[in-house]
Amino acid sequence: MDREEYVEAVLLAVESIPPGTVATYGDIAAYVGQGGPRQVGAIMREYGGGVPWWRVIRASGIPAEEVGDTQLELLRGDGVRVTNGKVNLHQSRWTPND
C-alpha cells in the first residue's frame, strides 16, 4: 500500500466516526490494519484538516498536547462527556460495528 493510500484510508476511518463518539490513534491504526498510532498522529498533523480530527484522542482519554483545549471544546460540542480535561472512553469509545 502506498503512503498516499494509507493516508486516504486513515482519513476515511476518521470521517466514519459518528458524532458523540471518539476513537484512539491505536484504534484507527488497527482499523486500517496498517502502521501504528504514531503514523496516524503524523497524518493527522499534516492532512487532518479535512476530517473530524478532534474525535481522535489518546488511549488515555487525553487529547494531543498541541490542540488539547480546542479539541475538548469541540468534543463537548459533539455531546461527548468530558470530565476534568479527560474523555470518558469507557462510555464514548468508537467501535467499527456501530
Partner DNA sequence: GCATTGACCGTCT
Partner DNA sequence: CAGACGGCCAATG
> What's the rounded Cα separation, in Å, for the pair 70 and 42?
18
The answer for residues whose C-beta is within 8 angstroms of residue 62's C-beta and 6 or more apart is 68, 85, 86, 87
Instruction: Name which position in 14, 31, 55, 71 contacts DNA (CB under 7 A).
Output: 71
Q: Tell me if 72 sits within 8 A of 39, measured CB to CB.
A: no
> What's the rounded Cα separation, in Å, for the pair 44 and 53?
7
The number of residues that bind DNA (CB under 7 A) is: 27
The DSSP code sequence of 45-80 is HHHGGGS-GGGEE-TTSPPPTTTHHHHHHHHHHHT-
- Distance in Å, CB of 21 to DNA, minimum: 15
* 53 near DNA, rule: CB under 7 A: yes
Sketch the per residue contact string, 20 through 49, with DNA: x for CB under 7 A, - otherwise: ----xxx-------xxxxxxxxx-xx--x-
Nearer to DNA, 39 or 92 (CB): 39
- Distance in Å, CB of 41 to DNA, minimum: 3
**Residues in the site for DNA, rule: CB under 7 A?**
3, 24-26, 34-42, 44-45, 48, 53, 56, 58-60, 63-67, 71
